[in-house]
Structures are given as C-alpha cells and as structure tokens.
Amino acid sequence: MEQAAAIKALIQLGQLPTPEKIRELTSGLEHEEPALLGLKPAESKIKVEHKDSSVEVLQHFEWKPKKIKLQDFANYFRKRYEFMKNLLMSRAETENATSISKLSSMQGKTTIVAMISDIRKLPTGTVKIKLEDLSGTTDAIISVKNAELAKKIPFLAPDEVLAFKGSVGRGIFFVDDIIWPDIPIKQRQLCPDEVYSVFTGDIHSGSNMFLPKEFEKFIQWLKGDYGDEKMKNIAKKTKYIFVLGDLIDGVGIYPGQESELRVKDATKQYELIAKYFSEIPEDKNIIVIPGNHDAMRLCEPQPTVPTDLAESLYKLPNVINVSNPAMLKLHKQDNYPGFDVLMYHGYSFDHFVDTVEALRLAGGYDAPDKIWEFLLKRRHLAPTYGATLALPMDPDPLTIRQVPDMVASGHIHKAKMGIYKNVLSVSCSCWQSRTTFQERVGHRPDPAIIPVYGLHDGKAMMMEFM
C-alpha cells in the first residue's frame, strides 16, 4: 500500500521514484517539499432559507494555503483504504476476512480487502492483478473459466479497494468472487410541497459555439414567459437551479482556443452569465459549482468560481457558489428530511470512459448514468488515482461518504437521467454546439435540454429549448 502511494506521490510531485526516496517516504521520515497551495475542508456555515425554499450546504471545500508533504499522499491512500475496508467489512459476505501477510499460513477459502495496484490481461483472457493492503502485497489470478466472475473483469479499475474471496496456492491468491464497497438502497421521501429542481451547466459563455437564442428561451421559461401552461407551472414552482460547472469557455484552456472565442476575457464571460442570471426570479436558488473551463486550477476539489473574475455573479442575491464537488440539502422542513444532492462537474468521467472496458461497452459518453453507477459502487468520484488531479486532503473530498438522494454532473454535455439503488443520477446538457475537440473524442452533445425533477412526485422529465 505505502509503496504504491509513495511512487504515485513522487510522480505527482514531478520527482523520480528512486528506491531511496520511496524508502525515505515509506519509513515515515518527513520530507518537506516546496509549498503547494492546498485546500482544507471547511465546516460549512452556508444555509439559505426563504419563505418557500431552503438550501443547506453539507459539504464544501474552501481554499486555504497549506504545505503538502509527501507523507500526505501516503496517508491519503491509507485513509481511503481504511474507509473502504470499513464499508466492506460491514457486509456479511466478508466475514472472516484476513490480511495479505497472513495468507501464507492460510488453508482453504478466505477473504481479503485490498487495493488493486496493477491489472494485466493474459492472452488467455485470464487476468493477473497485484493486490495490496496495509500488511503487504500479493499476486492474484482472476480466471475466465468462472463465468459469473469473468463478467466482473471489465469493471476493474486500478487503485480501487475491493473485497476478494478466494484461496491461496503456490503463493498466488486465486479469486472466486469480487465485492465492491457499493451503496445501500436509498430510502427517499416525497416532499409535501410541489417543488422542482432543474439541472444545467456547461454554458461556455464566450465561446463562438455558445447558443444564445436557446439559452434565452430557458431564461424566459424560468421567468414564466415561455412554454405552455404545464411548463409555466413547473417554472413557477422551480426553486432550485443547479449549475454544474463550465459557466464560461475560459481563456487559454486549450491550444488555439483564442480563435474559437467571441469574448476573450474571463471577467466579461462571467458578466455575460451574470446578466442572464440576474433575469431569473429571486425566489429561485441558483447553486453554482465550477468546472474545468472556469478560471481556476483543475486540481480537485476546485474552490468556488473566483471572486475577482466572477464578481458580477457574487453580487446576485440568489446565487450560491460552492466548491466542486459539493453536497447540498434542499427544502428541509419539519415534516420532510430534505433532498440531498451531490454535485460534481465530472472531469474524471473522461478517464473512465477511456479506460474501463465495461463503461465503453455500456455506451461511453452516451451513458453517464452508467458512469455514475460505476462511481457510486466504488464510493469515490475518481477511484483511479490520476483520473483527475486530486490533492491529498483529509477527509478526501472525492470519497462518497454520505449517500445522497441524487448525484448530478456536467462536463460531457449529455442530458441523461438514471437510477441506481434508488439514487437518481442526472447528467446535464450544455449551451454550446459540437466543438471540433468533441468530434475528435467522440462526444455527441445534447445542447439546450433541461432535466427537471419533482421533489414532490419523484418524477423526472426533460425539457427542450432548441
């Protein structure tokens, strides 16, 4: 465990993982590195209450400079392992689990909880993996001869922590079954008030490809000036608008972007957004997280959209800026426990669509519900280290500790809703037509579609503004 963490930490810090450095790190010696700007989890005090709506921010991460030591990376992996192990050990199937160091003295069937540090497919289809726990490492074999087990192979991802049932022979662990940390079935209550939440994001203001006419229709609808009577009633009773990042197209995000920008200044791009948002009636809470196109670093958790460049947005009374990711509770009342939403822009999705065979087969970018299912089963927003840039914070902001009622993302510009163990997933659409980059990577965006969810009836629908 510690060795793999040390190697990854050194690589992330741009250092060669020499045996000396790894030894130094894993032996617990403090190794001071040049200061990096870090984030500290913040005890959230954000709570907005109106006559007929309320938003409580349950998880939010604030920007606090902190010196990060190499040891922080080792601790980060250790804590993640311990959290997942606790989840897995609470399951009946993992009874009598042992540690890797005790395997050599074991006879017959046993269970271990371990992190996958390496996956190799042999020409026969059989998979050889390297497993680590806090006591040691072992090689393990997953045979395709067991049909049920073979179905699980395409779902495996490096660095995830799983329970493996099997037996030891000739120094190798032969896997019979694999168990993911997973979520329990979520119990959800319906809200006594007729109230709706809507999901948007990936506005990409400033881009040549931004769709102003369609976006204006959406704003008109929220104002009650667009659509039939049914649509107008939903607009009136919409109290929560989730904006899942990439508000602006940004500046200098990718080579040659300048030629694709209509507005080449991030402040002006945010001003354009603020102008639209200022038209939205103030009884609607607009909850905003940043994305990879917003004017800030990519490292997650990302703090709120920058106060200096997005000042125009901060002036609006009904905009609530939170970090990416963030967790919120909506509409809590005496007779209703509230509705918890985990917001995440979705930057790690690219990595998993690209590297996890089962997700590619399930539809890749066209199946964000399957990506969410994959992440919920792993209780982590980026189970493979490097899937997104992550800081070694404690607690790990990307771990899904508390199971929400709904998970919401953007980034892949695809409107889709799904359900897994009664947790709803929503992937929002965008307000930008297909870019050359998206064509190259196989994105097929669904612009100008708004997923809508009724907290009172548990029904979801899509509204089009093309």
Sheet strands (E) in 278-379: 285-289, 319-321, 326-330, 339-344
60 counts as binding Fe ion under rule CB under 5 A? no
Q: Give the binding range for Fe ion (CB under 5 A) out of 166-174, 288-296, 358-366, 371-379.
A: 288-296
DSSP string, 310-336: THHHHTSTTEEE--BSEEEEES-BTTB
Contacts of 451 (CB under 8 A, 6+ apart): 198, 199, 415, 416, 417, 426, 427, 428, 429, 460, 461, 462
Residue closer to Fe ion by CB (options 142, 289) is 289
Q: Tell me how far, at minimum, the Cβ of 291 lies from Fe ion, in Å.
A: 4
Minimum CB separation of residue 200 from Fe ion in Å reads: 11
Q: What is the x/- site pattern for Fe ion, positions 202-241, by CB under 5 A?
A: x---------------------------------------
For the bound state, the minimum distance from the C-beta of residue 380 to Fe ion, rounded and expressed in Å, comes to 19
Q: How far apart are CA 58 and CA 304, in angstroms?
A: 15
Nearer to Fe ion, 166 or 368 (CB): 368
- Report which of 324, 341, 455 is spatially closest to residue 389, judged by C-alpha positions: 324
Site for Fe ion in 409-448 (CB under 5 A): 411
Answer yes or no whether residue 292 interacts with Fe ion by CB under 5 A: yes
CB of 61 to Fe ion, least distance (A): 18
- Which one of 39-47, 286-294, 317-325, 447-455 is the stretch in contact with Fe ion (CB under 5 A)? 286-294
- Work out which of 291, 392, 404, 454 binds Fe ion, going by CB under 5 A: 291
Q: Within positions 243 to 262, which residues make up the interface with Fe ion, using CB under 5 A? A: 246
- Binding span for Fe ion by CB under 5 A among 100-108, 224-232, 393-401, 404-412: 404-412
Closer to Fe ion by Cβ: residue 312 or 432: 432
Least CB distance from residue 444 to Fe ion, whole Å? 14
CB of 345 to Fe ion, least distance (A): 6
Nearer to Fe ion, 4 or 244 (CB): 244
CA 128 to centroid of chain Cα atoms: 28
Residues 312-371 that bind Fe ion (CB under 5 A): none
Q: Which of the stretches 90-98, 132-140, 197-205, 236-244 binds Fe ion when contact is defined by CB under 5 A?
A: 197-205
Contacts of 41-46 spanning 24+ positions with Cβ under 8 A = 41/393, 41/394, 41/395, 41/397, 46/320, 46/322
SS3 293: coil
Strands 339-344 and 406-409: parallel
Is the peptide bond preceding residue 337 cis, with omega within 30 degrees of 0? no
CB atoms within 10 A of CB 456: 15
Contact characters 61-80, Fe ion, x per CB under 5 A: --------------------
Q: Is 301 in the site for Fe ion (CB under 5 A)?
A: no
Toward Fe ion, which CB reaches closer, 183 or 198? 198
Q: How far apart are CA 243 and CA 291, in angstroms?
A: 10
CA distance 182 to 111: 17
Binding window for Fe ion (CB under 5 A); candidates: 179-187, 256-264, 403-411, 450-458: 403-411
Q: Cα–Cα distance between 287 and 243 in angstroms, integer?
A: 6
Say which residues have a Cβ less than 8 Å from residue 134's Cβ, sequence separation at least 6. Answer: 1, 2, 78, 81, 99
Stretch that binds Fe ion, among 111-119, 303-311, 326-334, 405-413 (CB under 5 A): 405-413
The total number of residues shown for the chain amounts to 466
Q: Is 152 or 411 the residue whose CB approaches Fe ion more closely?
A: 411
**Closer CB to Fe ion, residue 125 or residue 442?**
442
First to last CA, the chain: 51
Whether 50 and 283 have beta carbons less than 8 Å apart is answered as yes
Residue 375 C-beta: closest distance to Fe ion, Å? 16
User: Rounded to the nearest whole angstrom, what is the least distance from the CB of residue 428 to Fe ion in the complex?
Assistant: 10
Least distance between Fe ion and beta carbon 202 (Å): 4
d(CA 406, CA 419): 9
Residue type, 427: S
Distance, in Å, from the CA atom of 54 to the CA atom of 398, rounded to the nearest integer, reads 25
Stretch near Fe ion under the rule CB under 5 A, chosen from 16-24, 36-44, 287-295, 418-426: 287-295
* DSSP designation for 450: E
Q: Considering beta carbons, is residue 111 or 207 the nearer one to Fe ion?
A: 207
Q: Identify the three-state secondary structure at position 98.
A: strand
Residues near Fe ion (CB under 5 A) are 202, 246, 291-292, 411
